[in-house]
Amino acid sequence: QVMSLIFDGVFDRYPTLRIVFVEHAFNWILPLMWRMDAIYEARKSWMDIKRKPSEYVKDHIKFTTQPLDYPEDKTELLRAFEWMECEKILLFSSDYPHWTYDDPRWLVKHLPEHAREAVMFRNGLETYKLPATVPALEGQMRVF
């Protein structure tokens, strides 16, 4: 329950806590961030949290990209990526080898260029504290 974690001050009490939502989609978080920020602005004088709820989301919660639900007009998806600052909160996942997997090439094509490396690679390393891998050798294919 994202709202409870934030409004109950869990991230203020446990500032190093990080949560990853795996295979829960992510497109629902943007309107929830707007709603929580509106609630905060209207009631912040008697709330115990120290920052806007959307800031807690961006600092403490990550979402995997699978399943990737998107509107018919793909420009709306790009706007959503920008608004949510996807480079801060998304981790690539495909669900491969299941038949409903999301093709990483499609995702790379639709991510904002500045967010590709973070979403497809860096956020996973940082979130799970994995060692960096060796860069692709000349002549090897990179998808972004």
- Is 9 contained in some domain? yes
Residue 42 confidence (pLDDT): 97
Query: Counting beta carbons within 10 angstroms of the beta carbon of residue 94, is it exposed (0 to 12), middle (13 to 18) or buried (19 or more)?
Result: middle
- Name the domain count of the chain: 1
- Is 139 contained in some domain? no
Distance CA 42, CA 45 (A): 8
Residue 144 confidence (pLDDT): 56
Residue 141 confidence (pLDDT): 61
- Is 80 contained in some domain? yes
- Is 134 contained in some domain? no
Residue 91 vs residues 14, 60, 95, 97, 118: alpha-carbon distances, Å:
22, 13, 12, 18, 8
Specify the higher pLDDT residue, 72 or 129. Answer: 129
Distance CA 91, CA 89 (A): 7
Specify the higher pLDDT residue, 143 or 53. Answer: 53
- Is 124 contained in some domain? yes
Specify the higher pLDDT residue, 12 or 104. Answer: 12
- As a whole number, the mean pLDDT across the chain is 90
Cα–Cα nearest to 78, from 121, 53, 108: 108
For residue 89, the enclosing domain spans 2-128
- Is 144 contained in some domain? no
- Is 135 contained in some domain? no
Identity of residue 62: K
> What CATH number is attached to the domain comprising 75?
3.20.20.140
- Is 69 contained in some domain? yes
Residue 19 confidence (pLDDT): 97
Residue 101 confidence (pLDDT): 82
Residue 74 vs residues 50, 68, 70, 109, 140: alpha-carbon distances, Å:
35, 12, 7, 11, 29
